[in-house]
Amino acid sequence: MDTKQTHKAHRVRKSGASAKKPQKKNAEKNNPKAFTMQSSQRADRMSRRKAELDEKKYHVPMADRTPKVPPPLVVAVVGPPRSGKTTLVKSLIRRYTKHTLSEIRGPVTVVTGKHQRLTFMESANDISAMTDLAKVADLVILTIDASFGFEMETFEFLNLLQTHGMPKVMGVLTHLDEFKDNKRLKMVKKNFKHRFWSEVYEGAKLFYLSGVENGRYLDREVLNLSRFVSVMKLRPLAWRSTHPYMLADRIQDLTDPEVLETNPKANRTVALYGYLRGMHMRGGDRVHIPGAGDYRIDQAEQLPDPCPIPDKERKRLDERHKLVYAPMSEINGVMYDKDAVYIDVKKSRHEEKAEAGEGERMLGELQKVGTISDRLAGEQFNLFSGAKPLTADSIDSADEEDILRRVDALDTNDSDNSDDDTDDNQNVERLAPIHTASKRINLMELVYGKTLEDKDDSAEIMNVNDNAKSLVVDTDLDEHKLRKCFITNPGDSEDEQGGDDDEDDAGDFEDLEAGSDGEQQSDNEASGTADESEEDGDEEENEFGLPADKMKKLENKFERLYGSDDEDEEKKDFYQQQKDVLQKYVDDTRLAMDELSSIDYRWAGEYVRVVIEDMPTEFMQGFNPYLPVVVGGISNEEGLSLITLRIKRHRWYPKILKTGDPIVVSVGWRRFQTIPTYFMNDRIKNRMLKYTPEHMHCSAAVYAPFIQPGTGFCAYHLTRQHRFGIAATGTVLENSQAIDVVKKIKLTGYPEKILKHTAYIKRMFNSSLEVAKFEGASLKTVSGIRGQVKKAFGNNGVFRATFEDRIKASDIVFLRAFHTIPIKKFYNPITSLLSVTYMRTVAEIRRSKDMKVPNKKDSHYKPIERVVKRFNPLRIPKSVQAELPFKSKTKHVKTDNGASRAVVMDKHDKRVADLLGQINLLHKDKTKKQREKTQRQKAEYVKKRRAEEDEADARRKRKRKSFFRLEGRNQKGGSARD
């Protein structure tokens, strides 16, 4: 029986190399006219929508000065008390490092990825700590208690962030397990999300943590939160990019104990440790520690990174690279040394073994005992501060490898010349380690700089590597193959660098000498030998006589300045051009900085040790690890001057601000107390204001250190009194040595003697000296006649004035003038880390001493009693009156003087009047009874209503009492909410 044969249909490849091949030119194509827009209106809407989306992506371009090995990102966890901050930090650290911290004290640095580290810092419920942390945080996680709602601390910190740079903000809703109704829980999440968006920005991330297990949040929820934290894109902030700063994660007192025994209150010598961020720093720079004051750095040195990122590219992060560094939290065992920090972290996965017997234990100890050489092989020592630890095995292996390299190089010269490409490639591969190892460290150049040169021709023993160089140059290889022998880029592949053994040799010493960001300075780095590190100093020269790395830098700089020769490059738009210009400036600056010695400068991303002398003893005595210690660089910001601010009272602050009341201002790294003088600029003069205006900006003059114009600031009072703490926000406008603020005054006087256009005015001044000060001032009367002050007349303050017309004796003369108000030069740094001493307002002093506001009699408004003036009747002469028209003539009409005629009624009218009186009397009586009935009904209703309200109040009180009784039991029962 014949069966029909069927074949499988051909499937076109949609992925892979075959799918990526270009199609033939004659292949059938779709008609482009068949797939165009059918509606012109829709095409217009789509084009406008695309243009709007493109415009939303644009932002003001800023220079990205992030170093090659960036410092850890500072993640601030902020929220009100008992909102879950500590639990959240412990859960995140457990997620990243598999370690559980019993107590969070100070910054905690963890390795979160192959190229990322995070430093977690929990914020204390203190306005000063919140202000300092807002200035250094790269990412802020706001914890919100969903069962209670938004609290005042959350909005205060958001306003602090807005004035100090506004980093990335994420919200976390906690205590969601207290909602049992899913419908209500969904509505609460929606309300919180929209309220959070209105304060931060629309689309801000808000996470939900539903419950706590074993003292931590759920692993899946913490994992989702950690993923969003790792992919956050941070925008560089102008203030931090132009100033060096450091968040201290370890503080050590270096004061001599003998000095403290003789004088316990002597100034201390303190060492601060931390990652340097922002710009570079060096010894001798002036820094400001918020809460402690201005100091000078006596010593700044680089230390090995205690929490390094992996030194090699890997697909995933190994368990041994998931490090945690928290010296203040005393995690496991921590040992400190001047040159390094050693952390003994126990393994999380341990195996419980049965207890061995005495014989087995002795046999195991005998097996572990080795020879003296074996025990010395594991010992390490450092030749220089900050260098890699060396071992005996590494030195021996380096010597053997050096000998093998020299033998291979000699064998290469003696080999037969062959045209086979494979042989040439093998020779190049064998020569690559020679060029890699031929770079030696010039110790004289490292210690004394590049100015000293070796002019002694007899010291030929130091030029051993010249023979090796000649061997390479004489090799019969073409230029392209020779170029492969040189290592000019630390990021080249392993094949181009001569294998795995020497892949780190090209950049170790270059980072130390050129001042790079220390990407290879880790304790877990692949150990290199001393000879290998010394052989990286001399660099091969090209046809121009320059080293290869410098020639590469010059080529890159030439391409940036004069463009590339590629004619197919598309024309860049204005936005991309601006970004390229900024990036060019940053690259040029990095090239110039690479030529500076790393011995003098400390670069961003390095772990540094800063030593400060003459630190007050209160700093160490009252040290609190829960408060952040920030070291911020101040360049040319120490001189005091008058600062003009644009300020606006915060809409949530309950009181208006008064001129002369001290207030705390946070701007830059500083927090200080000053006395502002508020004024308004009307284009001609600065008019003083006694109080800040409502819902609008004004200006303020304060006495403070120099600050860059355009820097944001916030003002608050130290005494919070259970209200919103941020009093005002604004921007710095200018720095100047003098600000003219004037106040309007109005002087009044009365005429003493009146002549034609001259009058003598009294009771305006008290002496002739005051008159002389106001000579030439403008005057004006109530009736609007203008005049001018001339000369004093006598010594009692009477002066002569001229007017444009004759004035009357009843006129009041006014003199309007402006008086210059001196700016109070008061500057009091807030030393919250030492001992706080601040100026109190007048209201606080009166409140503390129980004093009443002085009641002055002159301050009260007096009742105005105006005398009614009676004017004589107008008399018109008869001759003039006869010529007037009839309408304007005086009418002489006799008046009746209010006399009325008596009404006499007859008998019928009297009966009608009596009947109407009786009817009105009955109507009034009926209306009175109706009014009394209505009042009685209203009183009964009010009484009934009051009884119902009393019963409802009693019921509410019982419910509230039972609720708080249960809440108190839960709190006493030790329910861990945080």
Confidence of residue 971 (pLDDT cuts 50, 70, 90): confident
Query: For residue 294, what are the β-bridge partners?
Result: 288
Pick 212 or 923 by higher pLDDT: 923
Spatial contact of 580 and 572, defined as CB atoms under 8 Å apart:
yes
For residue 538, pLDDT over 80 is answered with: no
Query: Is position 825 within any domain?
Result: no
Spatial contact of 666 and 713, defined as CB atoms under 8 Å apart:
yes
The span from the CA of 394 to the CA of 505, in Å, is 14
The span from the CA of 763 to the CA of 780, in Å, is 15
Query: Is position 847 within any domain?
Result: no
For residue 274, pLDDT over 90 is answered with: yes
Residue (of 284, 313, 307) closest to 296 by Cα position: 284
CATH number of the domain that 91 lies in?
A: 3.40.50.300
Domain final position from 524, 542, 560: 542
The span from the CA of 651 to the CA of 5, in Å, is 84
Cα-based distances in Å from 412 to 77, 160, 436, 464, 475: 63, 69, 17, 19, 8
Which tens digits make up the pLDDT trace of 481-537? 434 444 344 343 334 333 333 333 333 333 333 333 444 444 444 334 333 333 444
Spatial contact of 602 and 280, defined as CB atoms under 8 Å apart:
yes
Kind of pairing, strands 117-122 and 73-78?
A: parallel
The span from the CA of 765 to the CA of 932, in Å, is 68
Per DSSP, the residues of 725-742 read -EEEEEEEEEEES---EE
| Contact partners, residue 401, CB within 8 Å, separation at least 6 | 433, 437, 501, 532
Residue (of 206, 208, 228) closest to 217 by Cα position: 208
Average pLDDT along the chain:
78
Pick 429 or 874 by higher pLDDT: 874
Question: Please, where are the H alpha helices in 503-547?
Answer: 508-514, 530-534
The span from the CA of 607 to the CA of 30, in Å, is 62
The span from the CA of 736 to the CA of 359, in Å, is 85
3-state secondary structure of 3: coil
- Tokens standing for 774? 């106001």
Say how many domains are in the chain: 2
Spatial contact of 73 and 109, defined as CB atoms under 8 Å apart:
no
The span from the CA of 763 to the CA of 747, in Å, is 9
What number is the average pLDDT over the span 200-209? 90
The span from the CA of 371 to the CA of 375, in Å, is 6
Which tens digits make up the pLDDT trace of 675-728? 999 999 988 899 999 999 998 999 999 999 999 999 999 999 877 667 788 999
Which tens digits make up the pLDDT trace of 68-123? 888 999 999 999 998 999 999 999 999 998 888 888 889 999 998 888 899 999 99
- Tokens standing for 216? 């931590």
Residue (of 117, 115, 80, 66) closest to 249 by Cα position: 117
Pick 896 or 531 by higher pLDDT: 896
Cα Rg of the chain (Å, integer): 44
Query: For residue 665, what are the β-bridge partners?
Result: 672, 715
Query: Is position 264 within any domain?
Result: no
Domain final position from 216, 241, 266: 241
Q: How large a percentage of the chain has pLDDT more than 70?
A: 72
3-state secondary structure of 705: strand
Q: Is the alpha carbon torsion for 152, 157, 162, 167 positive or negative? A: negative
Domain final position from 207, 226, 241: 241
Report the chain's terminal Cα–Cα distance, integer Å.
Answer: 82
Kind of pairing, strands 108-111 and 216-217?
A: unpaired
The span from the CA of 302 to the CA of 126, in Å, is 32
Query: Is position 342 within any domain?
Result: no
| Contact partners, residue 647, CB within 8 Å, separation at least 6 | 676, 678, 692, 697, 698, 699, 700, 715, 728, 729, 730
Mean pLDDT lowest for which of 17-31, 402-416, 640-654, 805-819? 402-416
Pick 692 or 976 by higher pLDDT: 692
Per DSSP, the residues of 739-802 read --EEEEEEEEEEEEEE-SSEEEEESS-SSHHHHHHTTT-EEEETT--EEEEEEE-SSSS-EEEE
The span from the CA of 192 to the CA of 177, in Å, is 16
Pick 45 or 571 by higher pLDDT: 45
State the virtual CA torsion across 845, 850, 852, 854 in degrees, nearest 10. Answer: -50
For residue 887, pLDDT over 90 is answered with: no
Other Cβ atoms within 10 Å of 159 Cβ, number: 19
DSSP 886: G
**C-alpha 556: how far from its chain's center?**
34
Which tens digits make up the pLDDT trace of 899-913? 677 778 889 999 999
The span from the CA of 204 to the CA of 756, in Å, is 78
For residue 470, pLDDT over 50 is answered with: no
Mean pLDDT lowest for which of 417-431, 654-668, 749-763, 819-833? 417-431
Confidence of residue 894 (pLDDT cuts 50, 70, 90): low
For residue 729, pLDDT over 60 is answered with: yes
Query: For residue 147, what are the β-bridge partners?
Result: none
CA within 13 Å, CB half, 725: 27
HEC profile for 542-605? Answer: CCCCCEHHHHHHHHHHHHHHHCCCCCCCCCCCHHHHHHHHHHHHHHHHHHHHHCCCCCCCECCC
For residue 845, pLDDT over 70 is answered with: yes
Query: Is position 337 within any domain?
Result: no
Spatial contact of 628 and 133, defined as CB atoms under 8 Å apart:
yes
Spatial contact of 171 and 196, defined as CB atoms under 8 Å apart:
yes
- Tokens standing for 572? 């860049």
The span from the CA of 173 to the CA of 593, in Å, is 45
What number is the average pLDDT over the span 437-447? 47
Query: Is position 933 within any domain?
Result: no
Spatial contact of 812 and 782, defined as CB atoms under 8 Å apart:
yes
Query: For residue 213, what are the β-bridge partners?
Result: 216
Phi/psi for 428 (5° steps) reads -65, -40
The span from the CA of 649 to the CA of 714, in Å, is 10
Domain that holds residue 412: 392-448+466-542
Burial of residue 124 (CB within 10 Å: 0-12, 13-18, 19+) is: middle
The CA-based angle 72-74-75, given to 5 degrees, is: 125
DSSP 72: P
Spatial contact of 432 and 498, defined as CB atoms under 8 Å apart:
yes
Length reported for the chain: 978
DSSP 461: G
